[in-house]
Amino acid sequence: MVRNSIYKCNYCNCLLRLRYQVGYFNIPVSIYCPKCNCHISGTIVIDNKNTTISENIIGATETNNKDYNYVLELATEFLIDKYKQRDETTDVQMSMFVRRGFTTPSKNQRMQNLLYFVNQSDIYINKIENIYNLLSTNRVDLIRKYFLNTNENILVELNKHNNANNIINELDAMLATKHYVNSLLQPIMPEGVFNNMYQIMNEKTRRIVKKHVLSVKDYLNNLDNDYFKTYLFKMPSYIIDYIKCVDQLLPVYDNFDKFGNIDFTKQGVSTISIDDLAVLYKKGFELLCDSIDLLVGLYNIETNGTYNHFDTGIYDFNERLNGMGSKYNKYEYFTNNNSDLFDGIRGVLNNIIRNAEGHNSIFTDGLNQEVTFINKTKNGTKTYKTSFLEFGKMCVDLFTAILYIWEYYYQFTKFKSVLIDGVKLHYGK
Ligand SMILES: [Zn+2]
């Protein structure tokens, strides 16, 4: 069933006909007025039990005036046609459901799992917060208990492979927690990401340690005691922010491997809030940049033999890194090479987006669903223009890159504990 509602923009009085397919899931709404670019957001709540629909929209008000100016489709995970101005054709438009050939999310298990995750996201956030609270206060006993006394499917599955009784010290608790959070996050990982993380865990990191064990030890020895901890505990807050935005990114997930075939001038989304995603992107950018020294060290070890042997010669590691200037320059140092260590990490950052601070330098074009990031520096103004949909993809790619880096951090925390500090590993051996 297709429903149509007419809304009036609260700011410029533009009339919008919003049309949507009533399906099984709530429809997140985040659109921009085509005339004044004001943000219109909310949720269409579909209660299948009581067969009721309630439209909770902020920024525009429902009206009986049928004389609409623009029509826009709303969809949870489908791509939509961008705004159309009213003409003879818009009154007899085909349902996007029919256009897609009646494919429902139920036919796609991955999308089904993702929608389930989004519906339950508060529970996932709570679990992640709690497990990291226990870890940061070093409550190994409570983490073991959490893993043992459970009727949670994910933990039952994990316990089949790794006995939770082996969670004995802080290192065990940390690795168990990571396995658990990886499993929780699996529905929001694009296809192939879980496997790549597994490769980092089992192949790429082992390859470096096996081949260059002395150099790796030398590098790990040089790091502060809290080096890894500091970074690992920055992760959960970003992950939670990402989970809060996942409903906006559903159309990106649904089209992840079809991005090359999308006509971005015609097709768009009705779920993305540029403000939310710009904040998320900036946070991800900082987190990725903060982690760069580990990656530069690994790159130097693999390519030049020791962590302080840069492409241009041997230097004091920290001095050379600082000498590179901006965080983005450091990022470019290791992404300019083709080592497979950085697959999925290279090329995901855009310096202009990161530097576009606040509303003044982000221009949103609601009608065409385009966003322009403007970065003013003393050397001039740089702008970067992209569609909402492509910016959404950049946010997913950045999330993916951070997951990979996160895996490196865990693995080298483990190597440092075992190789340098002589800690015994019990869990997941
Ligand atoms: Zn308006």
What's the pLDDT score for residue 358?
Answer: 56
pLDDT of amino acid 99: 64
Cα(248) to ligand 1 centroid in Å equals 21
Q: How far is the CA of 40 from the centre of ligand 1 (A)?
A: 9
In the chain, where the domains are located? 2-103, 112-420
- What is the CA(374)–ligand 1 centre distance, in A? 23
Is the pTM value of this prediction over 0.75? yes
Distance 93 CA to ligand 1 centre (A): 23
Centroid of ligand 1 to alpha carbon of 11 (angstroms): 5
pLDDT value at residue 232: 83
35 Cα–ligand 1 center, Å: 5
Q: What is the 251 CA–ligand 1 centroid distance (Å)?
A: 24
Distance 181 CA to ligand 1 centre (A): 42
Question: Distance from the CA of 38 to the center of ligand 1, in angstroms?
Answer: 6
Report the separation in Å between the CA atom of 6 and the middle of ligand 1, taken as the mean of its atom positions: 13
Neighbours of ion ligand 1 (CB under 5 A): 9, 11-12, 14, 33, 35-36, 38
Residues in the chain, pLDDT under 70? 92-107, 358-360
pLDDT of residue 401: 96
* C-alpha of residue 391 to centroid of ligand 1, in Å: 23
pLDDT at 425: 94
| Residue 63 CA, ligand 1 centroid: distance in Å | 14
The alpha carbon of 92 and the centre of ligand 1 are apart by a number of angstroms equal to 25
Quick one: pLDDT at residue 149? 82
CA of 395 to the centre of ligand 1 (A): 27
For residue 241, the CA-to-ligand 1 centroid distance in Å is 28
Report the separation in Å between the CA atom of 87 and the middle of ligand 1, taken as the mean of its atom positions.
20
Q: Ligand 1 centre from 8 Cα, in Å?
A: 8
Distance from Cα 385 to the centre of ligand 1, integer Å: 22
> What is the model's pLDDT at position 102?
53
55 alpha carbon – ligand 1 mean position (Å): 19
**36 C-alpha to center of ligand 1: Å?**
4
Please give, one letter per residue, the 3-state secondary structure of the chain: CEEEEEEEECCCCCEEEEEEECCCCCEEEEEECCCCCCEEEEEEEEECCCCEEEEEEECEEECCCCCCCEEEEECCCCCEECCEECCCCHHHCCCHHHHCCCCCHHHCHHHHHHHHHHHCHHHHHHHHHHHHHHHHCCCHHHHHHHHHCCCCHHHHHHHHHCCHHHCCCHHHHHHHHHHHHHHHHHHHCCCCHHHHHHHHHHHHHHHHHHHCHHHHHHHHHCCCCCHHHHHHCCHHHHHHHHHHHHHHHHHHHHCHHHHHHCCCCCEECCCCCHHHHHHHHHHHHHHHHHCHHHHHHHHHHHHHCCCCEECCEECCHHHHHHHCCCHHHHHHHHHCCCCHHHCCCCCCCCHHHHHCCCHHHEEEECCCCEEEEEEEECCEEEEEEEEHHHHHHHHHHHHHHHHHHHHHHHHHHHHHHHHHCCCCCCCCC
